[in-house]
């Protein structure tokens, strides 16, 4: 708002009268202009006035409220106004002033006692209004006159100043400039530079319209810095040929406004037409591959700003931007493309102007075939190629420096005889190989040339670098014997007469064979060597002295194809030599029988000799039963092949035992076979022979025992005085082919329990067994026996596992084989009445799951925790169907598992070897170990228990068991 002048009005309160102005008051806030203390008049110190002293007054209306104070009362207040040129304004109030001073009579309207000043107080106000005065700075002078005629023209704060501001902000630098061309986009920028604008408000405004529309749109601008105010306007609705009209406005703190332009509108034309397309687009594929080079001619459009380059594979739908180039740049190389030639590309070049308009583009796809950026350029050649003759012969050593090409993959090595023209390929040396390269299997004495070519990852091969020793060729010559053998071991067979040498061949490529020498210790002459082909690594000397009286020394040399022989590796056992002494006795005699001749005073012994070739004779020993220690009578030697001996001179009625040992031709004697008729011995006598068997056992019962095919038989023995013991036989249910499985001597109690392990050939889960118990006396008489066959049904052959409560009653349990179908864990395998609760562990979610009817099964490699009320016997019935070894998925984290075989932990977890980190045997297990880590102590794990395994990542655990399974193959652990 513009002002043309200033008006003043002095208001005074007194006797209920209020003087007001006809114009609006320009508020001079009391908080901005605080009151100052009054100053006494010249003649009467009682006259005084308190007024504020503002720095300036800006705006249409302002007022000041002060307090006058005088104990005698104020008669009048006078005012004078002066401009910046020192001129006093004449009668600014229009009251016909005769001079610059204006006197205002005052009537005191009321006295208010103020103890802080000790006098009477009345209020007054001075109002200022913009009138016809120009923009300037003015001074206001005040003084007071009391009733006694005393006055004071140096009133505190007088004169004070105020300023009249009638000029709006300065606007400049409009964006866009008048007559500009714009894109008409959804984010068109408008900006202007403005000064004298209040901060923090949208004091700068944009007013615009589209074409001849009457609707004016207005948007506030935001300061960006350095006096620039801007806003983004959505002009996306404009079309080609539209004109946007606009101007800017601003307002200052005094209410003065400005406009840019001062009159009318700026105008900006909208351009949405892209330039014309490029012409003459060509595409070339450089030999080095991975690139396509594009060239074109720019269009002639005046607003053409540049081109954009795109590419894609023939199969793709969407284009990939490659670059944006300026006008005048008419070529671009697309890089980082596939160099194999298997991928084909299309290219596109569009044009653009400065207003964001882009053309559809010119496409080149090679008539639908696409362009291949195949690398057809081989790498640079190798450098610094050197060729050396290897002393071992038959070889040439090559060294070179690889080229620096980024796609270099390796070098190919060729050779040819100097008098030939065709090259023979030897091999490829990849870029990861360092050190020398050896061309082998060459003919010694023949000159050769070599060639090294380079190849890249796309099989481009260079012409190669040839080395032929200036036309003389390189001639391989073998003058070097192979290296010596290593890791030599000398082993004398315990049976004697043979010493075996074991070694590792050297790595020499021309090794032909190894010579092995022998000589007696003390001799200077080696015998004729035995030639051993390469890669055999052992040789044995036979027919050596078996008595150990002769010591031997050995030497092993290596020989190449041209008979270069190494000095050799000698072995003499620290100067002692090696002996081939026989330290192994023959095997034991078999089928020993002792009979009592009727004539008495003798025992006849028969046997079968062992089959040892060095058996010399059999020693027969005998002694009375009860002889302490190892004291025997004898030996009585019996030549090999006799196999019978009559011991005479014995005392009738006394019990004897016998022992037979085997002796070889160098005196090695076996431990011997003892016969004592179950500890009772044999009694020579002349009386009639007892042929009556003892009575039968009674109270025979059978129950399963922990193990595979193990049972406990309980029985009562007869009271026969000559009872020697009982024998337990087993057979398949219904069969009469009995097999002796257990023997118990007569020192057993009258009522006894016998643990019986049935033969390993029984099949678990399908076979059934029956038992027969016979009695034997000291004369060898055996009873018919008592049969236990479970009422003709036989006893099922199963695996039984004893579950014993651990801490708080807990135990772990697993099965090592696949169970027969539809077996319930709690019910068929374990008596649920002996179980309080059971849990499985859900490894996928790392949480416990209670065993219920929904998951009451158990697979191999699974394990459960069971809280027992008491000890119980689990019955394990394997399936008789063929099954493959089980596999269990292990999740990352903790897994509760069982094992299918008794073996070291590393072997049991070999299928997840690199995936697990920690294994734990729970405290409820009887194992001696608790925790181990992968690669540390390799503890033994057993079947039927549960173990914790922590997997760093998921894997598959392989089991080792199959079905059907026999008693002998069932993986039952050792007793803890």
Give 693-723 pLDDT, tens digit per residue: 899 999 999 999 999 999 999 999 998 888 8
Contact present, 816 and 941 (Cβ < 8 Å) = no
Contact present, 479 and 391 (Cβ < 8 Å) = yes
Instruction: Go through 746-776 and write b for each residue having 16 or more CB atoms within 10 A of its CB, e for each that does not.
Output: beeeeeeebebbbeeebbbbebebbbbbbbb
pLDDT at 95: 39
Residue 482 DSSP class: P
Instruction: Classify the C-alpha dihedral 756-760-766-771 as positive or negative.
Output: negative
pLDDT at 561: 81
Query: The tokens of 314 are what?
Result: 């023939």
How far apart, in whole angstroms, are the C-alpha atoms of residue 453 and residue 467? Answer: 12
Contact present, 556 and 531 (Cβ < 8 Å) = no
How far apart, in whole angstroms, are the C-alpha atoms of residue 680 and residue 667? Answer: 32
Contact present, 900 and 911 (Cβ < 8 Å) = no
Provide the greatest CA pair distance for the chain: 188
pLDDT digits (tens, 9 = 90+) for 2-13: 333 332 333 332
Peptide bond into 945 cis (omega under 30): no
pLDDT at 154: 53
Residues belonging to the chain:
976
What is the full DSSP assignment across 561-589? TT--B---EEE-TTTT-B------PPPPP
How far apart, in whole angstroms, are the C-alpha atoms of residue 269 and residue 251? Answer: 28
What residues in the chain have per-residue pLDDT under 50?
Answer: 1-72, 74-75, 90-132, 976
pLDDT at 25: 27
How far apart, in whole angstroms, are the C-alpha atoms of residue 697 and residue 711? Answer: 17
Instruction: Go through 66-103 and write b for each residue having 16 or more CB atoms within 10 A of its CB, e for each that does not.
Output: bbbbbeebbbbbbbbbbeeeeeebeebbeeebeebebe
pLDDT at 201: 59
Ordered structural domains, the chain, with CATH: 56-164 (2.60.40), 170-270 (2.60.40.650), 279-372 (2.60.40.10), 383-471 (2.60.40.10), 486-579 (2.60.40.10), 590-679 (2.60.40.10), 698-796 (2.60.40.10), 799-958 (no CATH)
What is the full DSSP assignment across 591-625? EEEEE--TT-SEEEEEEE----TTEEEEEEEEEET
What is the full DSSP assignment across 809-868? GEEEE--SSPBPTT--TBTTTB-GGGEEEEEEEETTTTEEEE--TTS----TTB-EEEEE
SS3 of the chain: helix, strand, coil, percent, to 5: 0, 45, 55
């Amino acid at each position: 708002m513009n002002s043309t002048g200033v008006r003043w009005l002095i208001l005074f309160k007194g006797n209920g009268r209020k003087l007001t102005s006809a114009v609006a008051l320009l508020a001079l806030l009391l908080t901005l202009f605080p009151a100052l203390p009054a100053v006494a008049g010249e003649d009467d110190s009682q006259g005084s006035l308190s007024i504020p002293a503002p720095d300036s007054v800006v705006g249409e209306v302002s007022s000041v409220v002060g307090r006058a104070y005088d104990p005698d009362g104020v008669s009048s207040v006078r005012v004078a106004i002066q401009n910046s040129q020192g001129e006093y304004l004449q009668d600014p109030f229009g009251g016909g002033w005769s001079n610059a001073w204006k006197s205002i009579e005052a009537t005191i309207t009321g006295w208010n006692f103020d103890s802080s000043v000790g006098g009477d107080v009345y209020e007054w106000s001075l109002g200022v209004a913009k009138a016809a005065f120009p923009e300037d700075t003015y001074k206001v002078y005040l003084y007071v006159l009391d009733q006694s005629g005393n006055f004071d023209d140096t009133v505190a704060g007088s004169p004070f100043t105020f300023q009249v501001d009638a000029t709006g902000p300065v606007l400049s630098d409009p964006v866009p400039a008048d007559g500009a061309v714009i894109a008409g986009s959804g984010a068109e920028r408008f900006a202007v530079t403005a000064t004298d604008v209040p901060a923090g408000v949208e004091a700068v405004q944009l007013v615009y319209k589209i074409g001849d529309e009457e609707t004016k749109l207005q948007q506030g601008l935001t300061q960006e810095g350095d006096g620039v105010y801007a806003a983004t306007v959505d002009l996306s609705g404009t079309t080609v040929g539209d004109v946007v009209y606009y101007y800017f406005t601003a307002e200052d703190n005094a209410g003065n406004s400005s406009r840019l332009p001062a009159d009318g509108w700026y105008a900006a034309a909208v351009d949405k037409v892209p330039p014309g397309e490029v012409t003459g687009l060509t595409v070339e594929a450089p030999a080095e591959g991975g690139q396509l080079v594009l060239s074109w001619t720019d269009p002639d459009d005046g607003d053409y700003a540049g081109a954009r380059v795109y590419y894609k594979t023939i199969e793709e739908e969407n284009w990939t931007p490659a670059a944006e180039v300026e006008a005048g740049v008419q070529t671009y190389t697309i890089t980082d493309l596939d160099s194999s030639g298997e991928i084909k590309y299309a290219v596109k070049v569009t044009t653009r102007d400065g207003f964001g308009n882009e053309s559809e583009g010119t496409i080149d796809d090679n008539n639908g075939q696409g362009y291949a950026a195949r690398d057809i350029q081989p790498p640079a050649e190798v450098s610094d190629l050197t060729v050396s003759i290897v002393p071992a012969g038959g070889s040439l050593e090559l060294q070179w420096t690889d080229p620096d090409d980024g796609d270099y993959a390796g070098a190919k090595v060729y050779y040819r005889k100097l008098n030939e023209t065709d090259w023979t390929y030897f091999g490829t040396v990849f870029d990861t190989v360092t050190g020398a390269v050896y061309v082998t299997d060459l003919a010694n004495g023949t000159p050769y040339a070599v060639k090294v070519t380079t190849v890249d990852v796309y099989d481009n091969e260079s012409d190669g670098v040839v080395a032929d020793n200036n036309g003389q060729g390189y001639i391989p010559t073998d003058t070097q014997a192979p290296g010596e053998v290593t890791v030599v071991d000398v082993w004398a067979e315990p049976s004697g007469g043979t010493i075996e040498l074991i070694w590792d061949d050297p790595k020499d490529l021309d090794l032909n064979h190894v010579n092995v020498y022998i000589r007696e210790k003390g001799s200077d002459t080696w015998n004729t060597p035995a030639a051993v082909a390469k890669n055999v690594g052992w040789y044995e000397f036979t027919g050596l002295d078996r008595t150990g009286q002769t010591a031997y020394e050995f030497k092993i040399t290596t020989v190449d194809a041209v008979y270069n022989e190494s000095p050799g590796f000698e072995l003499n056992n620290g100067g002692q030599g090696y002996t081939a002494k026989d330290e192994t006795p023959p095997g034991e005699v078999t089928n020993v029988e002792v009979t009592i001749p009727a004539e008495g005073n003798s025992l006849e012994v028969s046997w079968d000799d062992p089959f040892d070739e060095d058996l010399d004779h059999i020693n027969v020993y005998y002694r009375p039963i009860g002889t302490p220690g190892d004291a025997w009578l004898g030996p009585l030697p019996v030549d090999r092949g006799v196999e019978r001996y009559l011991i005479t001179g014995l005392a009738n009625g006394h019990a004897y035992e016998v022992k037979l040992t085997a002796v070889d031709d160098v005196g090695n004697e076996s431990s011997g076979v003892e016969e004592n008729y179950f500890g009772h011995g044999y009694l020579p006598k002349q009386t009639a022979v007892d042929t009556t068997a003892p009575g039968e056992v009674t109270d025979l019962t059978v129950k399963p025992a922990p193990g595979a095919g193990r049972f406990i038989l309980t029985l009562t023995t007869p009271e026969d005085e000559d009872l020697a013991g009982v024998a337990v036989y087993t057979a398949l249910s219904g069969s009469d082919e009995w097999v002796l499985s257990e023997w118990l001597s007569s020192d057993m109690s009258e009522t006894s329990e016998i643990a019986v392990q049935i033969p390993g050939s029984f099949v678990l889960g399908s076979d059934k067994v029956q038992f027969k118990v016979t009695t034997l006396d000291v004369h060898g008489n055996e009873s018919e026996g008592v049969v236990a066959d479970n009422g003709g049904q036989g006893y099922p052959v199963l695996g039984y596992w004893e579950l014993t409560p651990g801490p708080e009653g807990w135990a772990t349990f697993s099965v090592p084989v696949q169970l027969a179908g539809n077996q319930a864990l709690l019910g068929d395998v374990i008596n649920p009445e002996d179980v309080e609760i059971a849990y499985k562990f859900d490894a996928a979610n790392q949480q416990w799951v209670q065993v219920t009817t929904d998951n009451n099964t158990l697979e191999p490699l699974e394990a459960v925790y069971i809280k027992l009320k008491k000890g119980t016997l689990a019955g394990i019935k394997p399936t008789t169907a063929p099954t493959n070894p089980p596999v269990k998925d292990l999740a990352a984290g903790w897994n509760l598992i069982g094992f299918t075989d008794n073996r070291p932990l590393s072997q049991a977890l070999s299928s997840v070897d690199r995936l697990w980190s920690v294994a734990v045997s729970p405290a409820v297990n009887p194992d001696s170990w608790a925790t181990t880590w992968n690669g540390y102590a390799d503890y033994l794990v057993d079947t039927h228990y549960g173990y914790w395994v922590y997997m760093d990542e998921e894997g598959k655990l392989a089991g080792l068991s199959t079905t059907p399974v026999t008693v002998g193959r069932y993986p039952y652990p050792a007793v803890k």
